[in-house]
Chain A
Amino acid sequence: MRKPLFLVVGVLLMASTVLSACAPAATPTAVPQPAQASAPAATTAPQPAAKQDVTLKVMSFLAIDTPDVEKQIIAEFEKENPGIKVQFDAVPFGDFFTKLQTMIAGGTPPDVASLNMENLQSFAALGALADLGPLVQKDNYDLGQYYPATLDMHSYKGKLYGLPASFSTVVLFYNKKLFDEAQVPYPDGTWTWDKMIDAAKKLTKDTNGDGKIDQFGYAKAWWPVYLWLNGADLFNKERTKCTIAEPAAVEGIQKMVDLWLVHKVAPTPADLKTQSDWDMFMAGRLAMYPVGPWGIAPFQKISTFEWDIADHPAGKEKATFLFGNSLTILAASKNQEAAWKYLKFAAGEKGERIRQQGGYEIAPVKKVAESEFLQSLKGKMPAHAEVFLNSTAYARTVPVVPKWNEISAAIDEQLELASLGKKPVKDALTDAAAKVDAILATIK
């Protein structure tokens, strides 16, 4: 008699523990409606009487290591725009997008958010961002002041959703001391892949003779660059088909995998679990390290060796990454006007001049990059800072598409198998391409 009741209660408890862990934090009814027709109509009524102060919620991961920079931008902005108060929330990059997503779902999004180009595409595709086109047109805002590539990467289906706030190109950082010790000439813009491998072999050493490698020649960058270096790409032009299983792509990824499996000049994923490539470079255990300008400020604090930068060695083609972050306005924001003012300031010439002092990335405003960025590095490492700007000539953006996280997870799984030597590169990439094609087919 008592047992059936116990069973029912047990099942319910089980259901609740299993499901509540997975149930979304918010309920479907809490979905914010893109603030269009109804919301402004309701809020405009009481405003004209007394011009109330607007509180602008800004959430950003920009210059997270040098928070004073963003604070100074806000202080200057508030000085120029009395009546607008900025409530600033600095969130580290790693937590940023989950937090933003939850805030949107919970109906309390910020007014302005920083976004990197991949997530800008996702959020724009979901309709979470405001189209900046009409605002630009209304003010005749000069987009010509930006590097064109930085505008392209913050557009989705031909519409601009973010004002470029900072950008990066990836270049080859190298430890001069390790090169001197191994008597290898410093890398320069003429280096090829094979020359790099030769040098890396000489720079990879077991210094204490315990059978473990203590010093590595080169650290692998993110995989898409190895497609480009070999003249391949991720998708076809229309981004409807994945092309990573084509011969040139397979060859390119094979070269990447060979860094571990054949040449043994780069730290393996297991090595990187012990110490990241970043920390290895800081500790003087890594000779060549492809990384962006966010490495400058931290690496300038290194006192045990000197370093410099060069173009990433060329494969069949010259290629490297172009990354970028922007400031966006959330579609659900009720303070579109004030948000746009903030964007124009914080991602305009004045804001960029201040942000450049943080040295996190490079200002996308040409005037600022060519003066402040290079100026701020005069007499400091790296001696060849102009490589960052010159490499924009051949740097590329990863062709981002909606559902990028899902696509990248599918490819990563197969690349891990290939890099562990569990699966030939060709088979791994063929399987990955099939999965990616299936995901692409679900994008409308």
Chain B
Amino acid sequence: MDSGLAQFGRATPTHARPARCSPLRLRDAFWGYLFIAPSMLGVLMFTLFPVLAALGISFSEWNLITPPRFVGLEGYRALLSDPVFGKVLLNTLYYTAGSVPLNLILALALALALNQKIRGIAVYRTAYFMPVVSSMVAVGLIWAWLYDTDYGLFNALLARLHLPPVAWLTSTEWAMPAVILTSVWKSVGFNMVIFLAALQDVPEGLYEAARIDGAGAWRLFRHITLPLISPAVFFVVVMGIIGSFQAFDQVYVMTEGGPARATTVIVYYIWQNAFKFFKMGYASAMAYVLFLLVLLATLAQWQVRRRWVFGEM
């Protein structure tokens, strides 16, 4: 038990601090920095610089062609009075609230099922992982056909059950659930793999001990599996929320934000403002608001993680 759980136990940071500026250390540091220089340069040029540039742009009015004009907080103020932005925020929350839990539950269920010793397990695992490595554009195009009102697979199945057809992508009620379903199908395999890895780290001894104490399947899951994989659950939830705040491709390919803006999520609206409406400043301001929202959501999760993530209490 000790050995198996050591990684979850609290680290005891009692490293002795070496002297700071010994020549040997400096030389090591020089080579270290040299080795990371290429990737650091890349990060600085292609990540950090655009991030800071976008901050500057968010305080200006810029149409990409004439030089930007400084307008201070005007863009941020305009966001507050833009009714479309409010709708877009709600749509993003809807998408998140729909896709993250569904993804989590399905991924966990799949991981549990595929953690058994079944013949040909590798084939199943590969099959569920396939959508993850497929292009979202291809997936979106195929699913748009599955959703087709007249000739789609789903409505054909509904017809078999003598149910009326559903206008999956062309009604304001169903478009968002349809987009969510496709996104979950696409990404569930990735989370499944993370859960699988976590499940395989749960020491068998714990189950044995609990079984001897008379625990049934549910109690094993509830009191051993779930707590021990909670770091993985935490990771999946945090990444899932970040990812769903950034949803774009599926909307772009399947619905173009419609019908009547029913599936316009925040990144789609940012893209529209930047590249369709020539409003770079406004789009950048919106990108920063998105960043703050994601930051707040993540910080909030870091705060409550102590209550439920194993090894954090």
Chain A residues at the B interface, C-beta cutoff of 8 Å: 1-2, 7, 10-11, 14-24, 26-28, 31-32, 98, 101-102, 104-105, 122-123, 126-128, 212, 268-271, 273-274, 403, 405-406, 409, 413-414, 416-417, 420, 422, 435
Q: Identify which of B48, B68, B172, B287 contacts A18 (C-beta below 8 A).
A: B287
B259 near A18 (CB under 8 angstroms)? Answer: no
**Is B221 in contact with chain A by the CB < 8 A criterion?**
no
Q: Across the two chains, which residue of chain B brings its CB closest to A125?
A: B63
Does B298 contact A24, Cβ atoms closer than 8 Å? no
Are the CB atoms of B287 and A22 closer together than 8 Å?
Answer: yes
Partner of A16, one of B47, B277, B284: B47
Interface CB pairs A-B, < 8 A, 7: A20-B50, A22-B284, A23-B51, A23-B284, A105-B65, A127-B66, A273-B144
B272: chain A residues within 8 A (beta carbon): 409
Q: Which of A1, A24, A409 contacts B280 (CB 8 A)?
A: A24
B266 smallest CB distance to A (angstroms): 10
State the Cβ distance, A127 to closest chain B Cβ, in Å.
Answer: 5
A22 touches B270 (CB 8 A): yes
Complex Cα spacing A233 to B302, Å: 56
Hey, which chain A residues are within 8 Å of B90, CB to CB?
A: none
Nearest A residue to B78, CB-CB: A442
Q: Is B13 an interface residue (CB 8 A)?
A: yes
Task: Tell me if B31 is interfacial: C-beta within 8 Å of chain A.
Answer: no
**Chain B residues packing against A (C-beta within 8 Å):** 11, 13, 43, 46-51, 53-54, 56-57, 60, 62-68, 83-84, 144, 148-151, 167, 169-172, 242, 245-246, 248, 258-261, 267, 270-272, 274-280, 283-284, 286-288, 290-291, 294-295, 298, 302
A20-B56 contact given A104-B65, A122-B278, A420-B171, CB 8 Å threshold: no
Q: Which residue of A lies closest to B62 (CB)?
A: A28
* A107 shortest CB reach to chain B, Å: 11
Whole-angstrom CA separation of A171 from B295 in the bound complex = 54
Closest B residue to A214 by beta carbon equals: B150
A27 near B276 (CB under 8 angstroms)? no
Interface of A is mostly: helix
Contact partner of B298 among A10, A28, A422, CB < 8 A? A10
Q: B56–A126 contact, CB under 8 A?
A: no
Chain A minimum-CB-distance residue to B270? A22
CA distance A26 to B284 in the complex (A): 13
- Given the complex, which residues of A lie within 8 Å of B277, measured CB to CB? 403, 405-406, 409
Q: Which residues of B contact A417 (CB under 8 A)?
A: 172, 260
A269 to B60, CA, bound (A): 38
Question: Complex Cα distance A7/B248, Å?
Answer: 26
Measured in the bound complex, the distance between the Cα atoms of B274 and A26 in whole Å is: 12
Task: Assess the A16–B51 pair: CB atoms within 8 A.
Answer: yes
CA distance A403 to B283 in the complex (A): 15
Least CB distance from A191 to B in Å reads 30
Q: Are B172 and A422 in contact (CB under 8 A)?
A: yes
Closest to B170 in A: A270
Q: Cα distance A104–B62 when bound, in Å?
A: 13
- Do A101 and B65 touch across chains, with their CB atoms under 8 A apart? yes
Q: How far is the CB of A425 from chain B (nearest CB, A)?
A: 14
The reply to whether A31 and B65 form a contact with Cβ atoms under 8 Å apart is yes
When distances are taken between beta carbons in the complex, the residues of chain A under 8 Å from B56 are: 28
B267 lies within 8 A of A27 (CB): no
Closest to A418 in B: B260
Contacts A212-B150, A420-B260 known; A16 to B276 CB distance under 8 Å? Answer: no
CB pair A7 B302 closer than 8 Å: yes
Measured between alpha carbons, how far is A31 from B63 in the docked complex, in Å? 10
Report the Cα distance A74→B295, complex, angstroms: 54
Query: Quick check: A126 and B66 within 8 Å, CB to CB?
Result: yes
Q: How far is the CA of A20 from the CA of B267 in the complex (A)?
A: 12
Q: Chain B's nearest CB lies how many Å from the CB of A110?
A: 14
Query: Which B residues touch A414, using CB under 8 A?
Result: 260
Q: Taking CB as reference atom, which chain A residue is nearest B67?
A: A31
Interface pair B66/A31, CB less than 8 Å apart: yes
Please state if A126 and B65 are interface contacts (CB–CB under 8 Å): yes
Asked if B261 and A18 make an inter-chain contact with CB atoms under 8 angstroms apart, the answer reads no
Alpha-carbon distance A10/B297, docked complex (angstroms)? 13
